[in-house]
Homo-oligomer: A and B are copies of this chain.
Amino acid sequence: MNIDINSDLGESFGAWKMGDDSAMLDIVSSANVACGFHAGDPAGILKTLKAAAERGVAIGAHVGYRDLAGFGRRNMDPTSEELIGDVIYQIGALQGLAKAAGTRVTYVKPHGALYNTIAIDKRQGKDVIDAILAIDPSLVLMALAGSQLVEQARAASLTVVTEAFADRAYTPEGNLVSRREKGSVLHDPELIAERMVRMVKEGVIEAIDGTLTKVDAQSICVHGDSEGAVAMAKRLREKFEQSGLTIRSFTATA
């Protein structure tokens, strides 16, 4: 039985460092690599891509709003023309760098505010889908499990992979508990690992009210922005391996 682990990488920018890409690349099977709009400078991205290529980690284009100052976390309302152009541009730039690094982009994961927006906003969702179709319809779209985007993208003939968040609490309906609510973020590495093993094997997560909720996810998102986060991701990987699960990307790598 296979499961994919993904994480956001390549998010340094010039003199500013973020995350421990090298450590995370030993843990994950898929790397969501920043494309320069919310984070990532070309030279730094290229370094991360080379390190990912060496380890056979799959590459996703982590496309975001054009907002370095806000790290792509602020809602924006680009026109469709703008959003389509911005997404194609970012994917193309990463494809170019990936080629130079001896690997290739196999999927697209929208970042931050764009990710959250298209989980519910069909217009921007369509823009992202149209952009992917325009540049390469074989690219897989990574989307929030249970979101409207999953159906929207599949209806448009895109291959979709759904993801769950290792450290987040879920509602009885299978949605993420809002970060504004108490208990929305989990901190115990052991508990997190156990929940994720159960989700992979049984397709359920214990919701915040104690009930079981179905979550259908082929990939699990972990973070690498602090020592604690890296340790948590490491523990998850170990637990998966101990449980007989194979950590493997949902796409072939280059």
**Which B residues are CB-close (under 8 A) to A78?**
70, 74
A112-160 CB contacts (< 8 Å) to partner B: 131, 134-136
- Kindly identify which residue among B43, B68, B89 contacts A36, using a CB–CB cutoff of 8 Å: B89
The segment out of A90-98, A230-238, A245-253 that lies at the interface is: A90-98
- A43/B84 in contact, CB under 8 A: yes
A85 partner, pick from B45, B76, B84, B135, beta carbons under 8 A: B45
A189 at interface by CB-CB < 8 Å = no
Decide if B95 touches A95 in the complex (CB within 8 Å): yes
Check if B82 sits within 8 Å of A42, measured CB to CB. Answer: yes
Chain B: which residue is nearest A75 at the CB level? B77
Whether the Cβ atoms of B134 and A71 lie closer than 8 Å is no
Q: Is B100 a contact of A69 with CB atoms below 8 Å?
A: no
Q: Is the CB–CB distance between B16 and A85 below 8 Å? A: no
Instruction: Decide: B77 and A74 in contact? CB cutoff 8 A.
Output: yes
Q: Number of A residues contacting the other chain (C-beta, 8 Å)? A: 49
Most buried by B among A14, A46, A73, A74: A14
Partner of A92, one of B73, B77, B96, B134: B96
A99 at the interface (CB under 8 A from B): yes
Contacts of A73 in B (CB 8 A): 15
Q: Do A89 and B93 have beta carbons less than 8 Å apart?
A: yes
- Does B46 lie within 8 Å of A85, measured CB to CB? yes
Residues of B contacting A93 in the complex (Cβ-Cβ under 8 angstroms): 89-90, 92-93, 96
Instruction: State which of B79, B81, B86, B96 has its C-beta within 8 Å of the C-beta of A88.
Output: B96
The smallest beta-carbon distance between A231 and chain B, in angstroms, is 20
Given contacts A77-B75, A89-B96, contact A43 B13 (CB under 8 A): no
For residue A15, give the distance in angstroms from its CB to the closest CB of chain B: 4
Inter-chain pairs besides A43-B84, A75-B75, A95-B95, 6 sampled, C-beta below 8 Å: A42-B86, A42-B88, A66-B67, A88-B100, A91-B96, A100-B131
Interface residues of A (CB under 8 A from B): 12-18, 36, 39, 41-46, 66-71, 73-79, 81-82, 84-86, 88-97, 99-100, 131, 134-136
